[in-house]
Amino acid sequence: MFAKRHFLKKTLLATSILFAMSVNATENVDLMITDATVLTMNDNKTIYEHGTVVIKDNKIIAVGDASISKQYKADKILNVAGDIVMPGLINTHTHVSMTVFRSLADDVPNRLHRYIFPLEKKLVSRNMVRIGANLGNLEMVKGGVTTYSDMYYFEDEVAKTVDKIGMRAILGETVIKFPVADAKNAQEGIQYALKFIEEYKNHPRITPAFAPHAPYTNSTEVLQQITKLAKKLNVPVLIHLAESKRENEKIAARANGKTPVEYMHSIGSLDERLVAAHMINVSASDIELVKKAGTGVAHNMSANIKSAKGVSPALAMYDQGVRIGLGTDGPMSGNTLSTIDEFNQVAKVHKLVNHDRGAMPPIKVIDMATMGAARALHMEDKIGSLEVGKLADVIVIDTKAPNMIPMYNPYSVLVYSANSANVRHSIIAGKLIMEDRKMLTVNEKEIITEAIAFTKKVRQAVIENGEKVI
């Protein structure tokens, strides 16, 4: 009898120890997403059905099938019942504050010089930049964008809005040769950029940058000066490049017939810190120069075709290993800021211009919106895929919406069926920014109300005495 009781005690003790060990083996984490169709966008394009993504602090600590959820105890669990879970979308090029000008002069020829520059001269201010950025940030988060690259004026004001909403961004202070709202000339623009870079150089989510508007709107000396400063300070340089016929003609006249890409290469400004937007008028040799330089490319399909400037050979660049990702351009150009609304056009237009139904398949489009865009911004070690150790920028796409049913192929559904309203949840740096379409870090109603109020000033600037003046 004693032996039996002794055996029972030993058994209970061993069970207690095993239980205690199992409890201790369960790691506490901040957030866990379960029962998901996980598109990792890693090198192997691994997909987990009924998958799990585990987040602690600001990073992803586990990605896998349903079994890994047993290893963690989360403060919050999002059971998404089969919805798509994927890396946050990355908008590689925009001018976010121009949301307040959206829908103006959409079909005006030579609109940049005839309409946009005069409009900005009258209306751009710190307040306008803040209001427009708040509205654009809201639109992007609700459309699944977690990181964006911006070029505009008063970028320190944009930075404040990015910080508040909780997004990630590369923000480039514009440098241009003629007087603008925050600088009388290019040198003042550079000084403004230097102060901005100093202020935000150590921010965890904001990367300050130089943004020379374009080669033809800056001198060779200014472009070279910016290249040297960017190297010294280790910051990006954002630029419009090879975008228009006008640019080609002006650069050819300046540089003995060189293309804009050849010109940037010849002056030492085509390098691994540069992110070049548009890249429409480029040759095979231009593409090779860009690839060797490690320069990033922002492909803005909607803006390019709306302006009738042409279709960038983005597919050729992607297939040849150029660092290329999707962008929207500014909300006066492409009109929307969410890259999910670019997917459909990117896939279809490249099929059309290549006369090939199989060209630009959906998986390439999604890659260009995630890892491709991360590579374009030289941030592929931090974002762009759902992998252990990367920053936790994650979105959840509703697959129960009528336009998303059925889902036989998640890549096809995303590219040909989805829209920005299908984004359910947005997580940036491990923090839930939007849950079930509800913003958690900013007041959506206040942002929209303030933007609508500002449009009265825009209307007054555009129309005086009953006549359009711009």
Residue 282: inside a domain? yes
**What does the pLDDT read at residue 48?**
98
44 & 147 share domain:
no
Q: Could you tell me if 203 and 166 lie in one domain?
A: yes
DSSP string, 340-393: GGTHHHHHHHHHHHHT-TTSS-HHHHHHHHTHHHHHHTT-TTTSSS--TTSB--
**Strand-strand pairing, 467-468 and 431-435:** unpaired
CA distances to 140, 235, 250 from 227, in Å: 30, 10, 21
Same domain, 36 and 113: no
Strand, helix or coil for residue 78: strand
pTM to 2 decimal places: 0.93
Per-residue pLDDT, 105: 81
The pLDDT, as a whole number, for residue 118 is: 85
CATH of the domain at 210: 3.20.20.140
Tokens of 204: 């965890």
Q: Is residue 55 part of a domain?
A: yes
Same domain, 172 and 296: yes
On whether residue 235 sits in a domain, the answer given is yes
Q: Which domain holds residue 137?
A: 89-383
Among residues 383, 399, 427, the one where a domain terminates is 383
Residue 4 is predicted with a pLDDT of: 45
Q: How many domains does the chain have?
A: 2
Residue 277 falls within a domain, yes or no?
Answer: yes
Q: Which residues of 346-365 are buried (b: 16+ CB within 10 A; e: fewer)?
A: bbbbbbebeeeeebbbbbbb
Tell me whether residue 122 is exposed, middle or buried, using C-beta atoms within 10 angstroms of its C-beta: 0 to 12, 13 to 18, 19 or more.
middle
Query: How many whole angstroms separate alpha carbon 64 and alpha carbon 50?
Result: 9
Q: Which parts of the chain sit beneath pLDDT 70? A: 1-25, 463-470
* 224 and 188 part of one domain: yes
| CA atoms of 34 and 78, how far apart (whole Å) | 6
Final residue of a structural domain among 45, 67, 86: 86
In a domain, 439, yes or no: no
Contact 436, 423 (CB under 8 A): no
Calpha distance 300→244 (Å, rounded): 13
Residues 347 and 374 in one domain: yes
The rounded distance, in Å, linking the Cα atoms of 78 and 52 is 10
Verify that 109 and 43 share a domain, yes or no: no
Residue 17 within a domain:
no
The pLDDT value recorded for residue 12 is 45
Distance in angstroms (rounded) separating the CA atoms of residues 218 and 108 = 25
Q: Cis (ω within 30 of 0) for the bond into 406?
A: yes
Q: Which domain CATH number covers 76?
A: 2.30.40.10
Same domain for 139 and 33: no
Do 65 and 125 belong to one domain?
Answer: no
Q: Are residues 229 and 330 in the same domain?
A: yes
Q: Are residues 108 and 234 in the same domain?
A: yes
Tell me the helix, strand and coil percentages in the chain, rounded to 5: 45, 25, 30
- Residue 27: which H helix or E strand, with range? strand 27-39
Do 61 and 207 lie in a common domain? no
In a domain, 207, yes or no: yes
Q: Is the residue at 420 inside a domain?
A: no
User: Where a domain ends, among 333, 354, 383?
Assistant: 383
User: Is the Cα torsion angle 438, 388, 384, 36 positive or negative in sign?
Assistant: negative
